[in-house]
Amino acid sequence: MKQHSEKTLLQGTGIVGILTALSRVLGFARDLAFALIFGAGSSADAFFVAFRVPNLLRSFVAEGALTSAFVPVFSDALEDGEEVAKRTLREAFGFILTITALLTIIGYLFAGDVVALLAPGFDPQKAALCADLLKIMLPFIVMLSMVAMINGALNTVHIFGAAPLAQIVMNGTLIIGVLSSFLVSGENKIYLISSWVLVGGILQVIAQLPSMRRAGFGITPSFSFLTPAIKQIAFLMVPAICAAAVYQLSIILNTILASLLVDGSVSWLYYADRVAQLPIGIFTIALSSVLLPLLSRSVSRADETTYSKTTVDGLRYVSFVLIPIATFFFIVSEDIIRFLYERGQFGPLSTLMVASVLRGYTLGLWAISCQSVLSRAFIARKDPLTPAIISMVALVGGLHVSLLTMGDITQNLTNDPSIFVKALTWYQHTLRQWLPSTPLGPTGLALGSSSMSLFSCLLFILLFKNRQKSVDLTPFVRSTLRALFASAGMALLLGTAALPLLLSCLLGPATYLIFSLILRSEEALSIFSLIKRYK
């Protein structure tokens, strides 16, 4: 049973990871085309802020809160029989459709206020453009929520890969949308691309239907909101809303602060975050999406041994994969950004700024991933309150670091600051009187996010060990130390030799794997063993 859970974890993560990698490649192709046309100017800033709103709502309502609440309840329903599970799924569909439809309407009515809150540094013209784009893209949250719900149900019955396949469809659609903008001129370009976001959302849902039929599920909603399953999901969603979306919320806070810095700061953060999110999207989200249903089924069956071992296995593989990736990104950040983005309106200055922000984000990649694993461990026990408290405490701490490292937030305002900005400025000046500060611009915002992740990771580990007194974290600690030593060997090679990016991409991972095998890394040996079985 123990070997089976680790094998399922590796296989599921591999399937989702490979499809997600293809999706990310298409996503970068989309970003490259976007950067070529819009660079890091006002239109790009407006689009990124507007596009981030439905993605934030997804994290709060769908992919984060609802999925985290739905999967444990759905796992219990599967133990009670197929018909109970199907009824629970229909009820959950009706629940999420109602919530997201209401959010869309509210967002449309208060689009201007939302932009003023998220980007208080935007001038009136840029704010008006952002509000218009937001109104166009808001219904996207409905489609995103449907995709997240379907993915949670399919992963629970060990059908993996439907969600990243849908994202491949989405990115392909947006590439077509960006290319179609050549057919229009002026601001019509950014309006057209925003419209293609909705087309992509619809196609995402359609792409999920074959997998749903294979699982024997449908997507017909039931609008019965007082059933025991929906009551339990709603109860679990309240704290999960805070816990599951903390990283996205930190990005939104960074967007607010970045809008108060030099023009282009929002875009620099976006481009750096896209690169930093690559390993998180390919590996961490894949691992977490497979991990939650495995842990939930273990809890439903009262299998404490499998529950503890599966959690520790997840942590081990996080260290094995994320520590070398973060090290690699930190060392060759400028080469990566230059290769990916430096063309058209994206010049050398933007390369330097985005690379600096990326280095700040890399310091938190491992912690973000460990936090994701451990939060699933708590959520599988239907305890989203603990992750919520940890996440919110860490978020406040990260915000303080950002305020101390970003520089003067009012130095680039051309209009009279709002009451909110004035209050934020006063608080920043008060902090500086008591704590040391270093003006690092947008890089300071990335450091704030990373410090938040490191702090919350430490709290998660301490509380998990306290709750699961019988769990043995020694394999996780051992794997982390081996990954650090192997990554140090890779860093020594890449840091002392001025290698071209392509050669660094080949020699870096090869060097890490060699050192890992020398150190007898259990993760490397398990992966090679699994690959051999498929040959």
In this structure, are residues 213 and 207 in contact, taking their beta carbons and an 8 Å threshold?
no
487, 29, 188, 271 alpha-carbon torsion, rounded to 10°: 10
Its domain, for residue 12, covers: 2-534
pLDDT at 242 over 80: no
Please give the pLDDT value at position 1.
43
**Dihedral angle over CA of 384, 390, 393, 397, nearest 10:** -140
Residue type, 506: L
Interatomic CA distance for residues 127 and 112, integer angstroms: 7
Q: Which amino acid is at 101?
A: A
- The predicted pLDDT at position 257 comes to 85
Q: Which two tokens stand for residue 202?
A: 């619809």
Q: Which residue has the higher pLDDT, 473 or 23?
A: 473
pLDDT of residue 51: 83
By C-alpha distance, which of 17, 26, 156, 37 is closest to 92?
Answer: 156
Segment 428-442 shows an average pLDDT of 84
Mean pLDDT of 130-157: 86
Supply the angle between the helices 333-341 and 2-38 in degrees, to the nearest 10: 60
Q: Give the Cα separation of 506 and 509 in Å (integer).
A: 6
pLDDT tens per residue, range 159-177 = 877 777 888 888 888 888 8
Give the lowest-confidence range in 67-71, 193-197, 530-534.
530-534
3-state secondary structure of 147: helix
Q: Tell me what percent of the residues of the chain surpass a pLDDT of 90.
A: 13
The residues near 408 (Cβ < 8 Å, ≥ 6 apart) are 428, 439
pLDDT higher than threshold 60 for residue 226: yes
Cβ atoms of residues 336 and 496 within 8 Å: no
| CA 186 – CA 516 distance, rounded (Å) | 53
Angle at 144 between CA 142 and CA 132, to 5 degrees: 65
Q: Going by C-beta distance under 8 Å and a sequence separation of 6 or more, which residues neighbour residue 285? A: 16, 20, 372
Task: Locate all alpha helices (DSSP H) within 58-123, ordered by sequence.
Answer: 67-80, 82-109, 111-118
* pLDDT for res 245: 59
Mean pLDDT for 390-397 is 84
What pLDDT does residue 427 have? 85
Higher pLDDT, 144 or 317: 317
Contacts of 411 (CB under 8 A, 6+ apart): 261
pLDDT of residue 2: 46
Cα angle, residue 58 at apex, residues 244 and 163 outer, rounded to 5° = 95
Q: Give me the chain's average pLDDT, please.
A: 82
Residue 79 makes CB contacts below 8 A (sequence gap 6+) with 300, 301
Cβ contact 69:237 at 8 Å? yes
Q: In b/e form, how buried is each residue of 144-164, taking b as 16+ CB within 10 angstroms?
A: bbbbbbbbbbbbbbebbbbbb
What was the pLDDT predicted at 366? 94
Tell me what pLDDT residue 532 has.
Answer: 61
Rounded Cα distance, 377 and 300, in Å: 13
DSSP 437-490: ----THHHHHHHHHHHHHHHHHHHHHHHHHH-TT---HHHHHHHHHHHHHHHHH
Q: What are phi and psi of 67, to 5 degrees?
A: -60, -45
CA 485 to chain centre: 27
Which long-range contacts link 330-338 to residues 24+ away (Cβ below 8 Å)? 330/359, 330/362, 330/363, 331/491, 331/494, 331/495, 332/494, 332/501, 332/504, 332/508, 333/358, 333/359, 333/362, 335/500, 335/501, 335/504, 336/275, 336/501, 337/271, 337/272, 337/275
Give mean pLDDT, residues 478-496.
Answer: 91
- In this structure, of 7-16, 81-90, 238-247, 515-524, the range with the lowest mean pLDDT score is 238-247
Q: Among 12-21, 80-89, 99-108, 234-243, where is mean pLDDT lowest?
A: 234-243
With CA atoms as reference, report the closest residue to 296 among 310, 285, 282, 314. 310
Give the total number of structural domains in the chain: 1
Tell me how far apart the alpha carbons of residues 182 and 26 are, in angstroms, rounded to a whole number: 19
- pLDDT for 17 beyond 80: no
Q: What is the pLDDT of residue 62?
A: 57
Check the CA dihedral 26-274-395-134 and report its sign.
negative
Mean pLDDT of 20-38: 77
Distance CA(390)–CA(387), nearest Å, equals 5
Band the pLDDT of 440: cuts 50, 70, 90: confident
Q: pLDDT band for position 184 (50/70/90)?
A: confident
- How many angstroms separate the CA atoms of 89 and 221, rounded? 8
In contact, 202 and 147? CB cutoff 8 Å: no
Q: Which residues, 6+ apart, have CB-to-CB distance to 279 below 8 Å? A: 321, 322, 325, 326, 365
Distance CA 436, CA 325 (A): 31
The Cα 377–Cα 314 span in angstroms is 10
Residue-wise pLDDT for 315-368, tens only, equals 999 999 999 999 999 999 999 998 888 877 778 888 899 999 999 999 999 998
